[in-house]
Amino acid sequence: MQSAKDAMMFLKKRAALEEEYGKQMMKLAQSMSESFEKAHPRAGSYGDAWTSMLKVHETVGEQRVKFAGDITEVADDLQLLYKDTEKSRKQAKEQGLRYERQVTDADMALEKAKQKYELHSEQWEQSILLKNNDPLHVPRKALFKSNKTQAQLEKTEEEARAKAASSDQTYRQQLNATNATRTEYFNTHLPNTLTNLKSIGDECNVALRYQLARYAYIYEQALTADGYALDNDDGLGLRSLTEKIDKDADLEEYVKTYGGRAGRTQKNEIPYKEYNMSMTAKSVLNPNPVFGVDLAVLMERDREEVPIILRKCAEAVETYGLNTVGIYRVSGTNTQIQKLKNAFDRDCRNVNLHAEEHVSDINNITSVLKLWFRELPDPLFPRAAYQHFLNAAKIEDERMRVLGLHSIINDLPDANYASLKFMMNHLDKVQQSQRHNKMGISNLATIFGLTLMGNDTPSITPVNVQIESQKLAETQWQVRAVQTILENYRVIFEPDEE
């Protein structure tokens, strides 16, 4: 039990160290990346390699923060194990002490009965000697005080005999009871108590060994993730990035960029140069944001059946990310995600996701797409149909469940139906490559259950345990609804008719 407590304290401190390390690493990498981009807007191959290396360090920091959270879960489980074991051990100990007190009380009662029996037997013996006038066995004090008649002596002897007989019976009964209590204690209660304590200790040891093995597995995963970030087959590891630095090409690019600053005589006519407005002014002239805008509004405004951002992100993932392990599960870098979001809000049609800065980390594109879904005013699965989807997901018969979901989807607004059909087609392509990306239908449904159906169910009651349990149950049905739709995509949407 003490070992479990020591392991718990060690893991809690280890988690705190890992979390602090991860946060500081992320903060340092982000700060250095921002300052470098401001100071070197055109840094060449070295700048690209340096920013990518900083991104690797930021990824390592994020993985360390996740590792700290996993360690904390193990430490919390060990703390619960320690408390439960201490409680069980205390209960067993108290029960053993109760049985031990019963034996002690029985011994004390036996001793009292024995003393009373011996006292009354001695008094009976004295009365017999007095009645028979035996001066050799009668105490001296009894010789001087004995002025009783023979009848009185006989009466005294009879009373003493009765008391001695009663005390003898009580003594025998108490002796039997005490021996029975001791026999039960030593043959039953004491072995049971010791067995119970050993069982409690064994259970604690087994659970402790499991939690330590779990910690070892988590540790191995963290080291593997760090190793993958440092060196991988995608050419984004630290060593691969340093090999991409080309000083000659950087020098040539620098000369091309800054060589004309010394000034040249312009012989030709001065051409017309259009004034380049700021991005703020352009956004006022062309106010077409895509984040936080309803699907129906996007369809009517852009004259596109499927939103541009959805189509562009899906095409980029299908081109560059189908073989990426953990696609849609692994998050991108926050700074790059915000950059992409701002770019889409400024001019969605002209965002080029095929640029090197975007395809170098496909997780930034997947994170932007998930963020766009989360910020929809009304989720892809509209709130008006939310309960219908949950009710359909709860149907046990798979065929009836598919028919129910099919009927609800057919009644969706045009914008929602078109986007849902396109998204399911995209996710179907992703899961077809699960041999490479490890993202099957179940994993994708778990990720997109909350994202597509909305995780902020309105409620006017204060948050309590019952509401939390209800939300947890709804999450299960959300995931099941998305999984059923994805598994039966070709039945529900009939893509062969497209």
Q: Quickly list DSSP for 131-143.
A: HTT-TTTS-HHHH
The dihedral region occupied by 304, where left means phi > 0, alpha psi between -120 and 50, and beta the remainder, is beta
Confidence of residue 127 (pLDDT cuts 50, 70, 90): confident
pLDDT in tens, 177-234: 889 888 888 888 888 888 888 888 888 888 889 888 988 998 898 888 888 777 777 7
Q: According to CATH, where is 1.20.1270.60 located in the chain? A: 2-241
Superfamily of domain 2-241: Arfaptin homology (AH) domain/BAR domain (1.20.1270.60)
The better pLDDT of the pair 353, 146 is held by 353
User: How buried is 236 (Cβ within 10 angstroms: 0-12 exposed, 13-18 middle, 19+ buried)?
Assistant: buried
Superfamily of domain 279-497: Rho GTPase activation protein (1.10.555.10)
With a cut of 80, say whether residue 436 has pLDDT above it. Answer: yes
Residue 67: its H or E element: helix 44-131
pLDDT of the residue at 401: 95
Distance CA(160)–CA(141), nearest Å, equals: 18
Neighbours of 230 (CB within 10 A): 16
With a cut of 90, say whether residue 352 has pLDDT above it. Answer: yes
Confidence of residue 269 (pLDDT cuts 50, 70, 90): low
With a cut of 50, say whether residue 460 has pLDDT above it. Answer: no
The dihedral region occupied by 454, where left means phi > 0, alpha psi between -120 and 50, and beta the remainder, is left
Q: Which of 77-91, 195-209, 220-234, 372-386 has the lowest mean pLDDT?
A: 220-234
Distance CA(436)–CA(299), nearest Å, equals: 35
pLDDT of the residue at 207: 85
Taking alpha carbons only, the member of 171, 236, 226 closest to residue 60 is 226
Longest alpha-carbon distance in the chain: 163
Between helix 441-453 and helix 362-374 the angle, nearest 10°, is: 40
pLDDT of the residue at 408: 96
DSSP 339-357: HHHHHHHH-GGG--TTSHH
Taking alpha carbons only, the member of 362, 361, 373 closest to residue 290 is 373
Reduced to 3 DSSP states, what percent helix, strand and coil does the chain have, rounded to the nearest 5? 80, 0, 20
Q: What is the SS3 assignment for 284?
A: helix
Confidence of residue 270 (pLDDT cuts 50, 70, 90): low
Q: Which DSSP letter does residue 262 get?
A: G
The better pLDDT of the pair 33, 427 is held by 427
User: Is the whole model's pTM more than 0.85, yes or no?
Assistant: no
Residue pair 322/430 in contact by the 8 Å Cβ criterion: yes
Confidence of residue 498 (pLDDT cuts 50, 70, 90): very low
The better pLDDT of the pair 396, 161 is held by 396
User: How buried is 7 (Cβ within 10 angstroms: 0-12 exposed, 13-18 middle, 19+ buried)?
Assistant: buried
Taking alpha carbons only, the member of 238, 219, 442, 419 closest to residue 328 is 442
With a cut of 80, say whether residue 24 has pLDDT above it. Answer: yes
Confidence of residue 272 (pLDDT cuts 50, 70, 90): very low
Confidence of residue 45 (pLDDT cuts 50, 70, 90): confident
Taking alpha carbons only, the member of 310, 304, 367 closest to residue 62 is 367
End-to-end CA distance of the chain: 65
Distance CA(478)–CA(472), nearest Å, equals: 10
With a cut of 70, say whether residue 283 has pLDDT above it. Answer: no
- Record the tokens describing residue 192, joined without a space: 């049971």
Distance CA(425)–CA(15), nearest Å, equals: 41
pLDDT of the residue at 282: 47
Distance CA(372)–CA(208), nearest Å, equals: 44
Q: What is the SS3 assignment for 470?
A: helix
Q: Please, what is the average pLDDT of the chain?
A: 84
pLDDT in tens, 306-329: 999 999 999 999 999 999 999 999
Distance CA(61)–CA(28), nearest Å, equals: 10
Q: According to CATH, where is 1.10.555.10 located in the chain? A: 279-497
